[in-house]
Amino acid sequence: MNQQGRKLLMIGFWLLAFARGYANDLSIRVKMEGLTYDTIWFGKTLGRKPFPQQFVLKKEDGTYEIKLKGPVNPGFYAIIFKTSSIGRLNYFHVAIDKGQGNFSVSCTLPQIFETLAFEGNQESENYYQYRNVMAGHMADYMKLIDYYRYQMDELNYKFITSKEEAAIIHQTQFLAQHPNGLTASLARQTPVMAAPKSNDWKKDRTLRWQLFTQNYLSGWQGGDSLFWSSPLGIDWLDHYTLGLWDELSGDPSLMADEALGKLSGKRDYYLYYLNYLLQVHAKSSRFDLDRVYVHLVRKYVEKADKSLLGEEEWYRHTNQANNINRVMTGNFLPDLRFYDEKDVPRHVYDLDAEYTLIAFWNPDCPHCIDELPALAKLYPTYKDRGLKVITICGKRDDKVSMCWQGREELGLPSAWYYWADPKAISRFQVIYNIYTIPSIYILDKNHKIVCRIKGDMIDNELALALEKYIK
């Protein structure tokens, strides 16, 4: 081949490479009414965590243009933004499937998902059609589980399973209408399972537990990036590790083990989900999930190399697990010294009671102001069963007088015991693992912890817990 021929051939190869490299270039036009910050980002998500990759400035016409060099891999991508320069990152997804051309997306803040609209991207429309319904089903289901876990009966069970049936119907209809595409692939990885149905709801309940725990993760491909790029994946896992076990007092630790076991060898996803589970269970409003946190730390953090999560995180988790373990249900509450209004030293173990309820509060805490009077209304029903109530106020030094004044303003019963720790000598917040108020411990006559309730769960669970544990 002569020199001219070689030149023509090289030009041909160059043109082919150019065509392959840019044939799938993609432009996304974004318009967000109400967004005052001049910057957005384009990137991906891992579960519910966004990862900005491309920085985009607002144009003179008020829009943003995201330019992607092809070929663009199919998947769910994130439009990431802040509502202020110091605010947290917010985001919504766009679906980019094979053959996707240029498209536009618009929304109005703060009603992002109510106003989200796409032009030229049917897969994104399909995704939000599916997501909005399924996310609603999942949220309703988890709320029902939280509410009914102390008083499951036939009516409540049928109500909960009806939510599952509605989700199954929607999922089936969606896949029939849209059998192909990214959303369909995600839906097939996160199937909603049908509960057994017969005339014996208690038997069905047991069979449901067995069916779900044995088969829920059987078809899950833990290392699939599509699964982790949408929060729907985490919602589905939450259903398994946080919801299913409640009805039958199953072991959520074993469920977490199974999920993490399917991620062995997939470091990025394993680390994300381990960190996610640690965060969820350490700060859960449900005290009974604290034990799962301790299990995770003991099995996956303490026994791992400190470099897995970083030395600082390793020590933080191990110390927190030790604190939680000290006051888990079934353990004896450590006896600390407090002081009453007359500055007389008081100890929990000095009380002789069949049951002792300890409420941690502050007089300027809005939730406490609501919850303590609610407890006062319930108290007459249970005092004849041997219940005594201690309130421990978190105010210190010259502000401790607010505790006694707040008690009077709320009209709390005189039969209760009102204590504080003015000099913060006891370190009760650390020893008792009190990081949110109001928080409640219920002890038996031997001062063993039988129940714990905290934060926003008190309103839902206090009456149910008292009825269950105060015999």
The enclosing domain of 62 has a CATH number of: 2.60.40
pLDDT in tens, 24-59: 689 999 999 999 888 999 999 999 899 999 999 999
- Last residue within a domain, chosen from 77, 105, 120: 120
- Last residue within a domain, chosen from 262, 294, 326: 326
Same domain, 115 and 135: no
Same domain, 356 and 445: yes
The verdict on residue 192 lying in a domain is: yes
Using the CB atoms, write b or e for 84-105: b if 16+ within 10 Å: eeeeeebbbbbbbbeebeebbb
* 158-181 mean pLDDT: 91
CA torsion 170→176→182→186, rounded to 10°?
A: 50
Using the CB atoms, write b or e for 345-364: b if 16+ within 10 Å: ebebeeeebebbbbbbbbbe
Q: Is the pLDDT of residue 152 over 50?
A: yes
Measure the CA–CA gap between 291 and 47, rounded to whole angstroms: 24
- Last residue within a domain, chosen from 70, 88, 120: 120
The verdict on residue 332 lying in a domain is: no
The verdict on residue 177 lying in a domain is: yes
Return the structure tokens found at 346.
Answer: 């008081």
Same domain, 212 and 188: yes
Same domain, 359 and 296: no
What's the number of domains the chain is made of? 3
Residue 457: count other Cβ atoms within 10 Å of its Cβ: 19
Same domain, 267 and 360: no
Q: Residue 57 — φ and ψ, nearest 5°?
A: -95, 150
Tell the residue number behind the tokens 């026994």, with chain if given. Answer: 303
Strands (DSSP E) along 25-98, which ranges? 26-33, 39-46, 49-57, 64-68, 75-81, 90-96
Range(s) of the domain holding residue 65: 3-120
Residue 217: count other Cβ atoms within 10 Å of its Cβ: 17
Q: Residue 356 in 3-state DSSP?
A: strand
Same domain, 58 and 199: no
Same domain, 449 and 432: yes
Tell which wins on pLDDT, 280 or 97: 97
The CATH number of whichever domain residue 419 belongs to comes to: 3.40.30.10
Please state, for a pLDDT cut of 70, what percent of the chain lies above it.
Answer: 89
Same domain, 59 and 142: no
- Identify the pLDDT of residue 244: 67
Same domain, 150 and 281: yes
Q: Is the pLDDT of residue 4 over 60?
A: no
Measure the CA–CA gap between 104 and 110, rounded to whole angstroms: 19
Same domain, 296 and 359: no
Please state, for a pLDDT cut of 90, what percent of the chain lies above it.
Answer: 53
Q: Which of 141-150, 228-237, 415-424 has the lowest mean pLDDT?
A: 141-150
pLDDT in tens, 395-450: 999 899 999 999 999 999 999 999 999 998 999 998 998 888 999 999 999 999 99
Pairing label, strands 117-119, 64-68: unpaired
- Identify the pLDDT of residue 265: 87
- Identify the pLDDT of residue 140: 76
The verdict on residue 331 lying in a domain is: no
Same domain, 341 and 281: no
The verdict on residue 447 lying in a domain is: yes
Same domain, 296 and 357: no
The verdict on residue 39 lying in a domain is: yes
